[in-house]
A and B are shown apart, each in its own frame.
Chain A
């Protein structure tokens, strides 16, 4: 499944999609950035409630396909611009992390 397809799925909403055709090949859930840094893998969907600009750096370095902000969290000021500039896709959802991850798991 591509990031664009996930963003269009019911329950998800695009925040910014500079690379919409990236394919999602798995997922990772976590809010501690160092933990995520060490474990998230290339092309995964990273589900988190963390919304500060450092998520863009972590996503870039881990090369995840998309950041999925759960619990209706919105990105802090400047995150969208940074993500656009770095080619980081961000999607948001009102679902809790567990439900979002479970649904993504069935979709990909």
Chain B
């Protein structure tokens, strides 16, 4: 069974123009097993605590990332997650090669879900995933292409 694998890298940021020091965490999100879903988010929470990030920011990152992780497992057979820690913000980039999101506006609506019944019986599929991700982050960008996949970039400032 392929499990969430994490690699940590510290170095200069290539994102944006500030070129400040950043720490990156990368994860493969296993799409085959619900029992391991959330591993990456739990690990990120632990890592952010060790870095001394404010508790509220850790909570927001954890919630947003967990929702994203669950979405990748439900809809896209897994994917990749990258978390970049800057001095004043955290960026979360979730990318998958799933079916894409046909109607983003609908998907963003609280209560709207395309999750199957077996997923709902586990307590997911309430149609709160993307809305929670937006609610708990300062910026969220969705790039999706039908049949190709989806990349979601979120920022939490602190």
Q: Chain A residues in contact with chain B, CB under 8 A?
A: 31-35, 37-38, 42, 50, 52-55, 57-58, 60-63, 78, 86
Chain B stretch 103-158: residues in CB contact (< 8 A) with chain A: 122-124, 126-129, 132, 135-136
Q: Report the separation of the CA atoms of residues A63 and B41 in the bound assembly, to the nearest whole angstrom.
A: 13
Q: Report the separation of the CA atoms of residues A38 and B59 in the bound assembly, to the nearest whole angstrom.
A: 10
Residues in B whose Cβ lies below 8 Å from that of A31: 123
Cβ-closest chain A residue relative to B123: A33
Residues in B whose Cβ lies below 8 Å from that of A38: 63, 128, 132, 135-136
A37 and B63 contact, CB distance less than 8 A: yes
CB distance from A40 to the nearest CB of B (A): 10
Residues in B whose Cβ lies below 8 Å from that of A33: 122-124, 126
Q: Which of B39, B55, B66, B132 counts the most A-chain CB atoms under 10 A from its CB?
A: B66
Residues in B whose Cβ lies below 8 Å from that of A62: 59, 63
A34 and B132 contact, CB distance less than 8 A: yes
Q: Which of A52, A57, A60, A63 counts the most B-chain CB atoms under 10 A from its CB?
A: A57
Cβ-closest chain A residue relative to B69: A57
Residues in A whose Cβ lies below 8 Å from that of B70: 34
